[in-house]
């Protein structure tokens, strides 16, 4: 009796190969279906590479106004043979100067000590200490500008030769309105420049793409001649004139052109 033997080894191998090919095909199809329609392959670019055509202009708007605040830096510098004596003398006179400022209407929040120093004083050879110097400086924000000269005169009266005025600066308590005017003027000037350039180049001005601003006060500037005012002591108080101060706003505009 004959025995029938089926050789299935080759058949199994061929079916495995077919199954592997089918699996790879299904995976590739799934990956392709996951890519959105119209998507590009990495590293490709469908643009033509041309940069947008633009016109860039900048302009400054400038306005002037009369300052209504003055920042006065004033103080006392004293010198004595010992540090203790110099400090005591300086403290007494500095307190009197502060009292003058407060009596003149300066608010305590507008009065700030900006410097206090104690240092030795040497002889001409720089080898021996011959005394000590003490300096105390305050910064006062004064809104009654008509009283500034009298305030300095009164402070000098109480501090004597120890008085020191380091400087003053005029400013605005609120410059919002001036900034608005300068900003509006600057944008109008820049727009006008862009229109002129576009017309001269034979192109048409498009949409405004970007706008940036940079504001900076210019000054202070004194236009009026100083006047002297009589102080309570009968001597001429130092002339203080606010004059006018300029404030500027600079803008940069970028327009598309077509």
Output the pLDDT for position 49. 54
- Checking if the pLDDT of 202 tops 60, the result is yes
Q: Is residue 38 part of a domain?
A: no
Q: Is residue 10 part of a domain?
A: no
What distance in Å separates the CA atoms of residue 238 and residue 236, rounded to the nearest whole number? 6
Average pLDDT over residues 15-36: 47
The reply to whether 244 and 182 lie within a common domain is: yes
Total domains present in the chain: 2
The reply to whether 148 and 189 lie within a common domain is: no
| Residue with token string 């002339």 | 239
Average pLDDT over residues 103-131: 93
The reply to whether 157 and 183 lie within a common domain is: no
Q: Is residue 92 part of a domain?
A: yes
Query: Using CA of residue 86, residue 92, residue 94, residue 97, what is the dihedral sign?
Result: negative
Beta strands (DSSP E) in the chain are 54-65, 69-80, 111-122, 129-142, 163-171, 205-221, 229-230, 236-237, 244-257
The reply to whether 90 and 152 lie within a common domain is: yes
The reply to whether 183 and 250 lie within a common domain is: yes
The reply to whether 138 and 74 lie within a common domain is: yes
The reply to whether 157 and 204 lie within a common domain is: no
pLDDT (tens digit per residue) in 217-227: 554 433 333 33
How much of the chain, in percent, has pLDDT values that exceed 70? 71
The reply to whether 94 and 150 lie within a common domain is: yes
Output the pLDDT for position 243. 80
What residues pair up with 115 in beta bridges, in sequence order? 137
The reply to whether 82 and 149 lie within a common domain is: yes
pLDDT category at 249 given cuts 50, 70, 90 is very high
Output the pLDDT for position 245. 86
157: CATH: 3.30.70.2970
Q: Is residue 211 part of a domain?
A: yes
What distance in Å separates the CA atoms of residue 148 and residue 101, rounded to the nearest whole number? 10
Report DSSP letters for 14-39, one per residue.
HHHHHHHHHHHHHHHHHHHHHSPTTP
Q: Is residue 39 part of a domain?
A: no
The reply to whether 147 and 74 lie within a common domain is: yes
185: CATH: 3.30.110.170
Q: Whose CA is closest to 64, among 225, 241, 223, 226? A: 223
**pTM given for the model:** 0.59
Range picked from 23-27, 102-106, 176-180, 188-192 for highest mean pLDDT: 188-192
Beta pairing class for 236-237 and 229-230: antiparallel
The reply to whether 159 and 182 lie within a common domain is: no
Decide: 134 and 86 in contact? Cβ < 8 Å: yes
The shares of helix, strand and coil residues in the chain, as percent rounded to the nearest 5, are: 35, 35, 25
- Checking if the pLDDT of 228 tops 70, the result is no
Domain that holds residue 185: 54-65+175-257
Residue 86: phi, psi to the nearest 5? -65, -40
Per-chain mean pLDDT for the chain: 80
The reply to whether 249 and 182 lie within a common domain is: yes
Q: Is residue 145 part of a domain?
A: yes
pLDDT category at 131 given cuts 50, 70, 90 is very high
Decide: 257 and 203 in contact? Cβ < 8 Å: yes
Angle at 69 between CA 65 and CA 71, to 5 degrees: 125
Contacts 24+ apart (CB under 8 A), 226-234: 228/149, 229/149, 229/150, 231/149, 231/150, 231/153, 231/154, 232/150, 232/153, 232/154, 233/153, 233/157
Contacts of 13 (CB under 8 A, 6+ apart): none
Q: Is residue 110 part of a domain?
A: yes
pLDDT (tens digit per residue) in 149-166: 889 999 999 999 999 999
- Checking if the pLDDT of 194 tops 60, the result is yes
How much of the chain, in percent, has pLDDT values that exceed 90? 56
């Amino acid at each position: 009796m004959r025995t029938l033997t089926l050789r299935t080894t080759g058949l199994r191998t061929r079916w495995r190969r077919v199954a592997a090919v089918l699996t790879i095909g299904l995976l590739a199809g799934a990956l392709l279906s996951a890519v959105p329609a119209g998507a590009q392959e990495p590293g490709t670019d469908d643009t033509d590479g041309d940069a947008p055509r633009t016109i860039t202009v900048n302009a400054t708007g400038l306005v002037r106004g009369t300052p209504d605040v003055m920042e006065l830096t004033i103080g006392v510098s004293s010198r004595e043979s010992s540090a203790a004596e110099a400090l005591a003398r300086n403290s007494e006179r500095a307190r009197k100067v502060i009292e003058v400022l407060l009596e003149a209407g300066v608010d305590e929040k507008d009065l700030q000590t900006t410097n206090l120093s104690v240092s030795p004083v040497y002889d001409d050879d720089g080898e021996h200490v011959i005394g000590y110097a003490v300096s105390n400086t305050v910064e006062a924000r004064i809104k009654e500008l008509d009283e500034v000269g009298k305030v300095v005169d009164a402070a000098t009266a109480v501090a004597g030769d120890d008085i020191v005025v380091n400087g003053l600066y005029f400013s605005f308590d609120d410059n919002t309105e001036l900034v608005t005017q300068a900003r509006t003027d600057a944008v109008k000037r820049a727009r006008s420049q862009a229109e002129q350039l576009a017309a001269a180049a034979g192109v048409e001005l498009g949409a405004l793409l970007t706008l940036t601003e940079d504001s900076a006060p210019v000054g202070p500037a004194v236009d009026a001649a100083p006047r002297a005012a009589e102080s309570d002591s009968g001597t001429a108080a130092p002339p203080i004139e606010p004059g006018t101060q300029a404030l500027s706003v600079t803008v940069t505009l970028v327009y598309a052109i077509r």
